[in-house]
Amino acid sequence: MGRTFNVTGTCRPDRHYMVDLRDRVTKIRKMVDAGQYFSINRARQFGKTTTLRALADGLQDDYVVIRLDFQTIGSDEFASGASFVRALAREFGKRIRYRKDVPDSIKEEMNRLADSAFESTRMADLFDCFTDWCAQSAKRVVLMIDEVDTATNNQVFLDFLAQLRAHYLERDEIPTFQSVILAGVYDVRNLKRKIRQDEEHKTNSPWNIAADFRVDMSFSVSDIAGMLESYEADWHTGMDIREISQMIYDYTSGYPYLVSRLCMFMDEGVGMSPDKTQAWTKSGFMDALKILLEEKNLLYESLANKLEDYPELKTVLYELLFTGRPIPYTALNQAIEVAEMFGFLKNVEGKAVISNRIFETVLYNLFLSEEYVGSRMYDAGLLDKNQFVVNGHLNVRRVLERFVESFDALYGDADETFLEEAGRRYFMLFLKPIINGVGNCYVEARTRNRERMDLVIDYRGEQFVVELKIWRGNAYHERGEQQLSAYLDHFHLKKGYMLSFCFNKKKEVGVKEIVLGDRLLVEALV
């Protein structure tokens, strides 16, 4: 069986098509060589475990590397210091049992601690064993702990971190680990986000000696291209590697799970010919994207759950998506901190923006779905949906015409505040049932603000750009026309669309066409 694209568990080069991690491993190794303790905190399914395995492989010639996973320790084993020491000693014992580079005396002591029936067994006993081990080892010892989130609700884990910190601070006097690496979503230096609400918040981390981890773990266009080059060497699809890599990046911003998931769908053919040639085209990519956006997976479920757990996060994302209200990136803002930690937001030139187009579309779909019931605009789009597709092609002009009629009838007397806050959201509610199941849409992050945003509609391989804007006078409107015309160049389109929400009570609602050079703009005014 040949290699595949993997989206579950650790990726292995001999089994899976994967990005070359050597550059990342080299950067992380410098931190290990420098004796730093640090945590790798990234959102779910961001390649943390795969990176740890690659790092361990790269260090094994020069270090004794021990990789633990806290998911193997039961929740009841965090109940007391003694039970935690026994469980941790058991896990260490499993990993060193057959290693020739670990002294037998250390193996025996780990077994003794693991089998101890005494509640008097202390954390200090385990760390005494660590000290003896590091003193006797011919090679320095590196400790990696994955899925550390499993433990962060527990006082015993805080005690463990405190001991690591104490030994780190005395490392010139006491032999200890060369480096300790913790991996998880939550930053152990800021544990208050994980402590249960009914417990006293413990905001001071006992592991504040951790160095900053600034290695970019997202995939670049060249990373994706390198992976696809390896795939192409096996399958000879004739794909344009650079074009496909760029499309994948444009929608995922290099989020590892999303990259691999799209590639997996294209590799499986997504209903295309079995020789894979059609799957690795723009059309095949759009089919794969449609499947990814419509599926229910653990990553989406995790994101949705976080919106329920952190109401302030939902408020921030809603404002950002629908009103275009700019949100400065401020690391000390709790809502932004949480959104970034879970992978929703990122910092782009000092502004908080949605991490990638796929998350943006998923969030739009989620928020809009909460308004379907009782939404008159959604019902209007649903009622008239059959008139908007002609011979398989979406008639966007007709969509605008019918939206103007419906919106004017329902909300023609709305005030300025309503139009600013709800107008664009209502157009998306109207559009949703029309393209649902066949197409999708996203808002171009570079143009989103309170005044305007460009909505890009993908429908059966065709793209349409609709500028949604608030009317601010003729001069501003003419600038908007020029901006839209320039933006069409990016998509190599000759026709664009503009939907303006105007506060002037004497406005003339309707749809007209404007010719700008070799561009045709279809403008709608409500």
Higher-confidence residue: 200 or 134? 134
Residue 408 has pLDDT above 70, yes or no: yes
Mean pLDDT of the chain: 87
pLDDT at 413 over 80: no
Residue 335 near residue 316 (C-beta atoms within 8 A) = yes
Tell me the per-residue pLDDT of 383-396, one tens digit each, with 9 for 90 and over.
878 899 988 899 99
Q: In 236-310, which ranges are continuous DSSP H helix?
A: 241-252, 256-267, 282-294, 298-309
Look at residue 451 and tell me whether its pLDDT is greater than 70. no
pLDDT value for 405: 93
Mean pLDDT for the stretch of residues 451-480: 77
What's the confidence (pLDDT) of residue 190? 59
SS3 state of residue 209: coil
Give me the pLDDT at residue 481, please. Answer: 67
Confidence of residue 412 (pLDDT cuts 50, 70, 90): confident
* pTM attached to this predicted model: 0.88
Share of the chain above pLDDT 70, in %: 90
Which candidate, 273, 181, 191, 281, places its Cα nearest to that of 228?
A: 281
Q: Residue 201: what pLDDT? A: 44
Highest averaged pLDDT of the listed ranges 76-80, 127-131, 307-311: 127-131
Say what the pLDDT of residue 274 is. Answer: 63
pLDDT class for 464, splitting at 50, 70, 90? Answer: very high
Please compute the mean of the pLDDT values over residues 246-265 and round it to a whole number: 96
State residue 198's pLDDT score: 44
Mean pLDDT of 433-446: 81
Q: Locate tokens 């000390």: which residue?
A: 332
pLDDT digits (tens, 9 = 90+) for 169-199: 999 999 999 999 999 988 776 555 454 444 4
pLDDT of 220-241, one tens digit each? 999 999 999 999 999 999 999 9
Per residue in 286-296, pLDDT (tens digit) is 889 989 998 99
Long-range contacts of 518-521 (CB under 8 A, 24+ apart): 518/494, 519/485, 519/488, 519/494, 519/495, 520/494, 520/495, 520/496, 521/481, 521/484, 521/485, 521/495, 521/496, 521/497
pLDDT of residue 453: 77
Confidence of residue 202 (pLDDT cuts 50, 70, 90): very low
The C-alpha atoms of residue 331 and residue 337 are separated, in whole angstroms, by 6
Strands (E), 326-424: 345-348, 351-354, 389-390, 393-394
Given this model, what pLDDT does residue 273 score?
A: 56
